Amino acid sequence: MRNVDRLCLAHFWVAFGAFLFACLIGTWQMWVRSPLGANIGTPGQYFMSVTAHGVSMAYVLTTFFIMGFGYFVAVTALNRPLPGRLWAWAAFWIALLGVVVTIIPIGLGKASVLFTFYPPLTASAWFYIGLVLVVAGSWIWCVLMLVAMSAWKREHPGQPVPLAMFATVANAVMWLWTTIGVAVQLVFQVIPAALGLVQTIDVGLARTLFSWTLHAIVYFWLIPAYIAFYTMVPRAAGGRLYSDTMGRLTFILFLIYSLPVGMHHLLMDPQHGNAMKFVQVLLTAFVAVPTLLTIFTITASLEIAGRLRGGRGLFGWIAALPWERPMVLATGLGFVMLGFGGFGGIINMGYGMNAMVHNTSWVTAHFHLIFGGSVVIMYFAIAYEIWPRLTGRDHMSLAPLRMQLWLWFVGMMVMTLPWHWLGLQGQWRRVANFNYADPIIAGWGPWVVVSLVGGFVLLISALLFVRNLAVLHRGTVVAVPRALYAVAVHPPKRVPAALNGFGLWNVLVLVLMVLAYGFPIAQFLIEPSPSAIVHRVR
């Protein structure tokens, strides 16, 4: 096994270990909030558990998976050794140390603040310091991705960077921009408060800085799924990518429009006027564009594959697709979840409609469906696709893989559709328990039980996923080397520098951020708002 394979596998196993742990406690959380498990456990235990679940899923699973996947892409798409392998291992250990430093205060009940940084509630400083270490590790990864791409460009002057690597670097560049907001919030506000250096904190400013990070981070998690859509799915389906340019545009649009939109998370917050909220909501609408481009391009690519396989008629090509292949199946299921989740997100984005669903289960349902559903199912598909390349052993049978993907899809739909409905009924989120003796809340009970069933299905699927990968390590079938990345219908021979690098786009991001966040942040410095007393979880 090559050293870089070990590097990737180490990242993936940390990611999926955290994932399995988070699935276990997530199911427990659903159980204690349902009428079946009412009054088991205390609110303290519940919030501790939610914190651990959120941190594991949103920070550990994602960051480690993305780093591991990035190293894999850098080596396989560029077909050259990874630069700075020792740095990569150092980044891994720094991030892993960060995970340990974060998990300990959570386990001691000193960090039950959920996984969002919303002062005045502050956790033990170690919680934040650990997460800073995780981010520091990911920054090293970003630099390595940039170095790998520029080294390749030097060796291949004038040639277009392979799309998979271009997209990975787009994600790295976006992540560097993204983490500025939360880094400023942590270093200047939250960590001093957690350490007791200050007694009050400007909550409005803290929430604004966190919003800077909060939406783009979601695209950081999402982009690996899109990389799979563009660069792996067309090949897995037996076709070609409809348009390479469309892919480049999509990742560029994610870079520029995922950042100046975070204030749509603050629509109900009083510290901003309506004008800047409107501007950011409008920009949010533009972030739907790359997703629509992707749906179009990938559907077109799949149609090419379906017709090459003999599909006829308006929809006949759909049936002709090789649905037995995990990557194709995951894409189909992922698109369905992306559809439902996307429509839900458009509701959240609207200033007026958000008011109806704000802080209800609708929001929880939305991000579970989009992230836990369409993104994570593509993480599974990627893992299934590249594990044989990392271990040299192939899957003995694809049936358990398909079963696992189907269970994940069914479980996610059964869990989140009732949550959407309950959100419309007004069921609030971030509470430890419901009083089902209350006649209004009693009506929610059956739907909560339905969603709990979905939760159990997800847990079974998660266990099956880890089993499928574990089995592979002891498998006897030798993997046959085969091409991974899709070729475009018209492979690009030469692309403009704008579609081969990020200089222009970084300038535009800077301008957009100044216009979208300049005044909202400056107002706190011009006229400081009343500060809140820091509440420290001890």
Residues with a catalytic annotation lie at 215, 219, 366-368, 429-430
Q: Which of residues 119-138 bind other proteins (CB under 8 A)?
A: 121-122
**Does residue 383 contact residue 20 with C-beta atoms inside 8 Å?**
no
Query: Is residue 533 a contact residue for other proteins (CB under 8 A)?
Result: yes
Q: Are β-strands 121-122 and 535-536 bridged in parallel, bridged antiparallel, or unpaired?
A: parallel
Q: Which among 375, 445, 451 has a CA at the least distance from the CA of 419?
A: 451
- Give the nearer residue to other proteins in terms of CB position, either 399 or 431: 431
Other Cβ atoms closer than 10 A to 79: 9
**Does residue 438 contact residue 482 with C-beta atoms inside 8 Å?**
no
Helices and strands, number each (H, E), in the chain: 20, 4
Query: Is residue 433 a contact residue for other proteins (CB under 8 A)?
Result: yes
Query: Is residue 495 a contact residue for other proteins (CB under 8 A)?
Result: yes
Q: What minimum distance in Å lies between the beta carbon of 113 and other proteins?
A: 8
Query: Is residue 43 a contact residue for other proteins (CB under 8 A)?
Result: yes
With contacts defined by CB under 8 A, name the span among 1-9, 224-232, 266-274, 474-482 that binds other proteins: 266-274
* Largest CA-CA distance found in the chain, in angstroms, rounded: 70
Query: Is residue 397 a contact residue for other proteins (CB under 8 A)?
Result: no
One residue of 44, 313, 339, 443 binding other proteins per CB under 8 A: 44
Query: Is 162 strand, coil or helix?
Result: coil
Q: What minimum distance in Å lies between the beta carbon of 48 and other proteins?
A: 11
What letter does residue 57 receive in the DSSP assignment? I
- Give the nearer residue to other proteins in terms of CB position, either 121 or 448: 121
Q: Which of residues 312-341 bind other proteins (CB under 8 A)?
A: none
Query: Is residue 156 a contact residue for other proteins (CB under 8 A)?
Result: no
- Give the nearer residue to other proteins in terms of CB position, either 104 or 471: 104
- Give the nearer residue to other proteins in terms of CB position, either 129 or 512: 512
Question: What sign results for the dihedral spanned by CA atoms 439, 444, 450, 451?
Answer: negative
Query: Is residue 508 a contact residue for other proteins (CB under 8 A)?
Result: yes
Q: What minimum distance in Å lies between the beta carbon of 33 and other proteins?
A: 12
Q: Which two tokens stand for residue 499?
A: 């579609």
One residue of 199, 314, 352, 481 binding other proteins per CB under 8 A: 199
Burial of 292 (0-12, 13-18, 19+ CB in 10 A): exposed
Beta strands in 193-311 (DSSP E): 200-201
Query: Is residue 525 a contact residue for other proteins (CB under 8 A)?
Result: no
Q: Which two tokens stand for residue 456?
A: 């159990």
Q: Which of residues 224-253 bind other proteins (CB under 8 A)?
A: 245
Query: Is residue 538 a contact residue for other proteins (CB under 8 A)?
Result: yes
Q: Which two tokens stand for residue 468?
A: 């499928």
**Does residue 116 contact residue 190 with C-beta atoms inside 8 Å?**
no
Q: Which among 364, 468, 339 has a CA at the least distance from the CA of 418?
A: 364
Residue appearing with tokens 């594991």:
56
Query: Is residue 107 a contact residue for other proteins (CB under 8 A)?
Result: no
Q: What minimum distance in Å lies between the beta carbon of 42 and other proteins?
A: 4
Residues at the contact surface with other proteins, assessed by CB under 8 A: 39, 42-44, 109-110, 112, 121-122, 158, 196, 199-200, 245, 256, 260, 271-280, 282-283, 286, 433, 435, 437-438, 490, 492-499, 504-505, 508, 511-512, 515-516, 519, 523, 531, 533, 535-538
